[in-house]
Structure 1
Amino acid sequence: MEKVKSLDGFYLYKIKKDNKNYYLANKKNYKKDIENLINNLDDLKFDSLVILFGLDTGEYLSKLEKVLCSNNKVIIFEPNEDVFNKNKNIILNDNIRVVLFDEENIGSIFATIIDGNNFDNLYVHAFGNYKEIYKEEYKKLLEAIDAKYFSVSGNITLAYRCKESFMRNSIQNLKVIKESSPLNSYIESNKDVPAIIVSAGPSLDKNIKDMVKNKDKAQKCFVIASNRTFTTLIKSGIKPDLIISIDPSDAMYDMMKESLNEDVPLLYYEYSNRYLVNEYKGEKIYMSNIFSKIIKEINKFEGLSQGGSVAHTCLAMANILGCNPIILVGQDLAYTYDKHHSDKATFDIVDNIITTNWANELVDDVFGNKVRTTTTLKVFKNTMENHIKQYKSERNVEFINASYGADIKGAPHEELSNILEKDIFKVKKKKLQPDKCIDLSPEKVISTIIDFVDTFIEKSEQGMEQCNILSEIKEDKSLVHIDGNDIDFQRFLFILDIVQTFESSLESFYLGGYFNKFLFSIKRESFLMLAKDYDQLTSNMRYQSKVFFNYFIRMNEMLLEAKKIIDDEVSKFK
């Protein structure tokens, strides 16, 4: 690596890669590369996350710093280790960070910096010649960004679409939780027992034939089913040891209505479909993904990792149970045989709109060929691979994929019949015995929810009143240069206190998708500012009062809508 000077007076690096010499940026007109970067940030928002690929000598940093505001964050991925080490002590602003590009770690980095607040507000730019020189690395970076983007956007879309059912389910499921056993009671209860996770992909039809053919050995495994596969297994003569249901929709009830009288334990959480949870006759196991964050009496109880599909929760449960090996069947994550689901696990009520036209992506299958898939399934695949990697790092567990769809990293393919012939049955499986030790008062929780909503309906009205007063002030008061005892400044502090208290209240978790949708929408509706205008607008009292007036209007509307749902569901308790 050699540090040289461009024709227009900037320093840049000349490197050797694959026996060829490259300049990391424009040797003749380095200024043009800097301008391309800065111009790409022309409409930078006040809270945008900037992801850059390539540091070179850092000559662009001073220009970059000038277009940022204090709220922006920048992460620079440097793929050349020599360049990274040469510049790792470079002085940076607090909101700029340089990391060495590592394909194995970029997913975990994005998990900490990309969320529902910024996923649709990312600026991605490859500096200079980095995109051409490090083509594969840049492709991997974009894939990791896309995976995180679709994961977060999918969760937000789900919260939007299911906000009402989330709330109705969580309120009605309160009655069942106190009669259920907690997830904690079963940690490592089936240590070193083989597990079979039964998903509903196109491979399931063949996998079930193998399970039936080797029924005695298959039933020695701890078999975990989902809504889709439970009845199919029962009809095939295979009795699962656990069924997991996390989807909030009524379609889950319809999938299970033929099997409501079975005695297999049902694992559910707060948002699981209320009709299924309430009417299923078997024992119930509660995993707490929401209420343990809010309710003191159950904050010791655990939840499970969720990665977008019920299969991820099944995988997490098998890991919690201590099972080993964990065998995946029907887990295609692709349109194997040009099908979206197994024939045995297709339900017209939810599947009649799915077409193969959606599968316009390609991934490697378990045999090294290409198979069609969708963007969503690729995200599920990425998340599952990350979970498998995590579980393997935590304990000595083997994952085997007996399906015929997408290749799943960390779970090599093997025929199910061959797996069941192995010496894997060293420990006898144990039935999940009831342990009803959850002390919870649904009435007390309902009272807390109602009090919270009523309190902040009133506070939203108080906020609107104060914002109205401030919007009418004649002089252009600054929030930076103002006497702390100024009556209008005190009004503004009162407004901020309502907002901060509301958004930081643990009780906001009770509002579920309503709260998430409100925050996501109001930020884009009222708080959208360019980075270059940030200091001016955030210090202007009159402007801010108008922004917060709209905030309180939307907050009030959201809370009144949520209150109507709560009152409706509570009336059914009586």
Structure 2
Amino acid sequence: MIEKMVLEKNLKAIENNANHIILPFDPSKQKYNVFRDKDKVVVACQNDYVRYDNSDTGKYVKNFDYNHKGIYFMPGLFDIGAVERIYNGASRDSIVFVVEPNPEIFYYMLTHYDMADLFARKNFYLLVADYEAAPEYFSNYIINKGFVIKVSNIQCYTSQYLKVFEREQSLNLQKRFFESARSSLFMLGNSTDDTMIGLLQNLLNFKKFCSSMSIRKLKNKYLSTPAVIVSAGPSLKKNIHYLKQADRENVLIFAVDTIIKKLLDMGISPDAVFTVERPKIVYEYFYKDIDFPENTVFVGPPVVYPGILKKFSARRMILPLKGGEKMNNWLNCLVSNKSDLIPNGLSVAHLAFSFARYLGCDPIIFTGQDLAYGDDGRTHSEGTIYDNKDVDKRKEKDLWVEGYFGEQVRTSEMWRKFQTWFEEEFYKSKGSIINSTEGGAKLKHTQNLLLKDALDKYAVKKCKPLYELIDDIYEPLFMEENEVIHGRIENEAEELRKFNELMESFIKKLVKYENNTIVKENIVEYLSELNQMMIEYEQNADGLGFFTIFIQTHFAIASFEINQLKRSDTVEKVGKIIEIQKKLFKVSADLSELIYGELEKYLHTSFMSD
């Protein structure tokens, strides 16, 4: 009866806190037997066991550094003493993230320990998932749960039973968490100059975005239709000829920009060509000198170089907005949310996959998706711009990963990030995903199948070409009067002006603090006022549409630096926080003024005239 009451109390606390994710599990796969033996708890596995007092494990973490804000990553919920010691020792601005890979351990803890108060806390996170599934959720936690600004200080503790029975798996879990943290930092954004180029190109392409068809009209239009995503990896030479032989009426072919010229030279007209990068050089390499056939549709975000879009008519372009990015949320608001946002990931192949999945394609077949160097050291397929070795300036530390055939293959940090993104998205996808690359890195959650066999098996039923479907259902995404959008951009510009004024007032206040003599008796008051300014900063910045992409890296750096400060109330700490905040507020003031000016310029020149 007591166990049932404890269980219900714990479950209620978990259900009421969106921090926690508990994946379904198969009871038949449980491998541990857990029971109490006097003052110890025994975790038994087959003929082996570990016996210890899991309530007394706080002693293992007494020397942890609790003076800085950060993330405490803990494989295993079993060592409740260590969990509680870390949680109580960490600041309330820190995050405690527990991953329990074994559901029987999770169930034992729910029925024997009252952890409802812990589960209810805003900075406590629990993920119950096995070693294969858990890493696929890390990026979601880091980006969407606010972990990213605290990844500068990560400390780990592993439950003792995992160290005995699953040491290698738990260490790999830590490794995957650190990899996800690095990838998430990479996704924060580019330099301010690059981001400004992105804003300007989005604005320059905005009319074409409005005249193109909304991706929403294509959702699930190709259910159970096979799609082949052709990338430009060095293994493509093994099977590209099968695309030439395939019955084009029975399959969609999606090509990344790097490989488009080679396909067209072979007489293969893909249904769509994809681009995600914004630099002009992408246009010069892959689009400038090509006459695209009428049956090929361009797919890419409206941030691409404007010259690319001039190569296609309104009926031959789909401009999906990138999910999870404020700039694209803002663009969608300008057109009354008539588009859908999809994951663009980190590479053009990521976008191609997201698009195919959005259309309902099943299976999605990859070829040329090596994400590794070829046997001869090549980075790309023959017949591409990368035949000129001077073009590829890749200078990255080499890594070794499991290959398509189980061997070890050489890859790079960048490709490893691409692989991690794919595997996380594959895990969340319902349809079948087939890897027909026949080389390169192994991709989890896919089925290896020769391209010829995949086409023979799945490309057996006619489907309407993408361009014909668009012709049948085309209508411009946004047809309202220009004044509607004009007014919305004006409102955004006015909010930026107000934010700029707020930043200037914060800077004046900080300068005043600097000029004052800070005495020990006033330290707590100063720290409280500085903290309040950061809260107001975040609240106001969050309401500024796309502006957060310009400041997110600066905000992350400021947060890192503040998190590194010890949890002590000293005059020195106050001075350092003032220095950090003044730098953040100054760059935010400069950027808001700059972007306000660009929006005003756009309103008075570009949008209202052709």
TM superposition score normalised by structure 2:
0.78
Residue aligned with 2:205, SS: helix
Distance 1:481 1:153 in 2: 33
Match of 2:586 in 1: 553
Distance 1:190 1:65 in 2: 49
Distance 2:280 2:385 in 1: 16
- Cα drift, residue 50 of structure 1: 0.7
CA distance 1:315–1:112, shift in 2 (3 Å): closer
Q: Which amino acid aligns with 2:131?
A: E
CA distance 1:335–1:478, shift in 2 (3 Å): same
Q: Could you list the runs of 5+ residues in structure 2 that have no partner in the other structure?
A: 1-33
Match of 1:71 in 2: 93
Distance 2:605 2:238 in 1: 45
Match of 1:454 in 2: 497
Structure 1 residue corresponding to 2:456, chosen from 421, 427, 435: 421
Residue aligned with 1:467, SS: helix
Match of 1:465 in 2: 508
Distance 1:102 1:205 in 2: 37
Deviates more, 1:78-87 or 1:190-199: 78-87
Distance 1:25 1:385 in 2: 38
Distance 1:450 1:100 in 2: 45
Cα deviation code 1:292-326 (max 9, x no counterpart):
62325331310222232111211121122222332
Q: Which amino acid aligns with 1:38?
A: K
- Cα drift, residue 266 of structure 1: 1.2
Alignment pair present for 1:205 and 2:237: yes
Alignment pair present for 1:516 and 2:552: yes
Match of 1:485 in 2: none
Alignment pair present for 1:329 and 2:367: yes
Distance 1:169 1:456 in 2: 24
Distance 1:219 1:238 in 2: 13
Q: Which amino acid aligns with 2:290?
A: S
Query: What are the residue-to-residue correspondences of 1:58-207 with 2, within 5 Å?
Result: 58-79=80-101, 81-88=103-110, 89-91=113-115, 92-93=117-118, 94=121, 95-97=123-125, 99-115=127-143, 116-128=148-160, 130-156=162-188, 158=190, 162-207=194-239
Structure 2 residue corresponding to 1:438, chosen from 464, 475, 478: 478
Deviates more, 1:98-107 or 1:316-325: 98-107
Distance 2:46 2:261 in 1: 56
Distance 2:108 2:586 in 1: 53
Task: Work out whether residues 66 and 90 of structure 2, in 8 Å CA contact, stay in contact via their aligned partners in 1.
Answer: no
Task: Work out whether residues 160 and 517 of structure 1, in 8 Å CA contact, stay in contact via their aligned partners in 2.
Answer: no
Task: Work out whether residues 189 and 549 of structure 2, in 8 Å CA contact, stay in contact via their aligned partners in 1.
Answer: no
Distance 1:82 1:353 in 2: 50
Distance 1:354 1:481 in 2: 51
Q: Which amino acid aligns with 2:114?
A: I
Match of 1:221 in 2: 251
- Cα drift, residue 400 of structure 1: 2.1
Match of 2:268 in 1: 238
Query: What are the residue-to-residue correspondences of 1:471-550 with 2, within 5 Å?
Result: 471-472=514-515, 495=533, 499-507=537-545, 509=546, 511=547, 513-525=549-561, 527-530=562-565, 532-533=567-568, 536=569, 548-550=581-583
Structure 1 residue corresponding to 2:290, chosen from 240, 245, 259: 259
- Cα drift, residue 51 of structure 1: 0.8
Cα deviation code 1:356-392 (max 9, x no counterpart):
x744212131x33332222332332232233233221
- Cα drift, residue 145 of structure 1: 0.6
Match of 1:374 in 2: 412
- Cα drift, residue 448 of structure 1: 4.2
- Cα drift, residue 189 of structure 1: 2.6
Q: Which amino acid aligns with 2:503?
A: S
Distance 1:261 1:427 in 2: 24
Cα deviation code 1:34-87 (max 9, x no counterpart):
454232x315422x1111123445233453344211112212334454543332
Match of 2:343 in 1: 305
Match of 1:37 in 2: 61
Distance 2:240 2:192 in 1: 36
TM superposition score normalised by structure 1:
0.82
CA distance 1:303–1:259, shift in 2 (3 Å): farther
- Cα drift, residue 253 of structure 1: 0.5
Match of 1:270 in 2: 302
Distance 1:205 1:24 in 2: 57
Q: Which amino acid aligns with 1:499?
A: Y
Match of 1:409 in 2: 444
Task: Work out whether residues 500 and 593 of structure 2, in 8 Å CA contact, stay in contact via their aligned partners in 1.
Answer: yes
- Cα drift, residue 443 of structure 1: 4.4
Cα deviation code 1:66-109 (max 9, x no counterpart):
42111122123344545433322433542445554522441354
How many residue pairs get matched?
543
Q: Which amino acid aligns with 1:520?
A: A
Match of 1:284 in 2: 317
Q: Which amino acid aligns with 2:585?
A: F
Task: Work out whether residues 24 and 130 of structure 1, in 8 Å CA contact, stay in contact via their aligned partners in 2.
Answer: no
Distance 1:439 1:391 in 2: 34
Structure 2 residue corresponding to 1:21, chosen from 49, 74, 87: 49
Deviates more, 1:221-230 or 1:547-556: 547-556
CA distance 1:352–1:270, shift in 2 (3 Å): same
Q: Which amino acid aligns with 1:424?
A: A
Q: Which amino acid aligns with 2:188?
A: I
> Identity of counterpart residues, as a percentage?
18
Task: Work out whether residues 338 and 478 of structure 2, in 8 Å CA contact, stay in contact via their aligned partners in 1.
Answer: no
CA distance 1:125–1:519, shift in 2 (3 Å): same
Residue aligned with 1:360, SS: strand
Deviates more, 1:89-98 or 1:267-276: 89-98
Distance 1:60 1:398 in 2: 41
Task: Work out whether residues 167 and 271 of structure 1, in 8 Å CA contact, stay in contact via their aligned partners in 2.
Answer: yes
CA distance 1:110–1:18, shift in 2 (3 Å): same
Match of 2:11 in 1: none
Match of 2:15 in 1: none
Match of 2:31 in 1: none
Task: Work out whether residues 327 and 400 of structure 1, in 8 Å CA contact, stay in contact via their aligned partners in 2.
Answer: yes
Distance 1:21 1:250 in 2: 62
CA distance 1:121–1:169, shift in 2 (3 Å): farther
Alignment pair present for 1:399 and 2:433: yes
Task: Work out whether residues 333 and 378 of structure 1, in 8 Å CA contact, stay in contact via their aligned partners in 2.
Answer: yes
- Cα drift, residue 403 of structure 1: 0.9
Residue aligned with 2:457, SS: coil
CA distance 1:181–1:387, shift in 2 (3 Å): same
